Amino acid sequence: MIEEQVKNYLRVHGFETLQLKAVLFDMDGVLFDSMPTHARAWAETSDHYHLGLTESEAYENEGRTAKSTLDVLFQRNKGRNATEKEVEEIYAYKIQIYNKYNIETIPMKGAAELMEKIRKDGFQIILVTGSGQDTLMARLQKYYPGVFTRDVMVTAKNVKTGKPHPEPYLRGLQLANTHPWEAIVVENAPLGVRSGVNANIFTVALNTGPMKDEKLLNEGANVLFHSMQEFCEKWDELKKDLQ
Ligand code: CA
């Protein structure tokens, strides 16, 4: 069902075959449904400071630094970058709002079932996240027991340069002991998709928010689904074209 996309991937990267051995998962917005809370916190912050951020922009900017996000908004509204003090104040406000709403972690619907299928099929599962939170391990163990151990995780603490640089996904390939043509990446944000594509890996995009599909496809995503549930339901068909 994705034969054409695979052919196109092989042509673009100059590889001969895609022989799936490992699936590299992003975490926020892929394994956990954290984007609605993140977007809501940005929306309220934007209202409070009159920044004019759209809901779609909140999704598009996932993984960008607060400074880089605020500079774009400040340039648009005031014709200048945000000062260090402004970034500090506004970002502190955003975190406060985020924590107010982030009462519990919500796993992404369909993700646990997909993990089960992938494990049964004998492929490796690797986590590649830009997060460096200390609570990360406990969250993963609670919702995905036994799937993510330290030796299959790349976090902010293991890389010098974060997404959209390819380093995080190149590290993921190392952990899995695989070549780029032996893995796929699952990502929800434009910067994450670019990181996977820059690492020469077949990249699956999940667009679960208000952002236009083009935002992810233009970064080079090879295939796109609108929910993890959809990806999970189609897995048995998809994997035939990936090996
Ligand atoms: Ca993400």
* Per-residue pLDDT tens over the stretch 174-215: 999 999 999 999 999 999 999 999 999 999 999 999 999 999
Euclidean distance between CA atoms 157 and 130, whole angstroms: 9
Query: How far is ligand 1, taken at its centre, from the CA of residue 162, in Å?
Result: 12
Query: How far is ligand 1, taken at its centre, from the CA of residue 197, in Å?
Result: 15
Query: How far is ligand 1, taken at its centre, from the CA of residue 15, in Å?
Result: 27
* Residue whose C-alpha is closest to residue 122's, from 237, 204, 230, 20: 20
Q: What is the pLDDT of residue 120?
A: 97
Query: How far is ligand 1, taken at its centre, from the CA of residue 29, in Å?
Result: 5
Query: How far is ligand 1, taken at its centre, from the CA of residue 14, in Å?
Result: 28
Residue 108: HSE in the Cβ half-sphere, 13 Å Cα cutoff: 31
Query: How far is ligand 1, taken at its centre, from the CA of residue 72, in Å?
Result: 20
In this prediction, the residues of the chain whose per-residue pLDDT falls under 50 are: none
SS3 assignment, position 107: strand
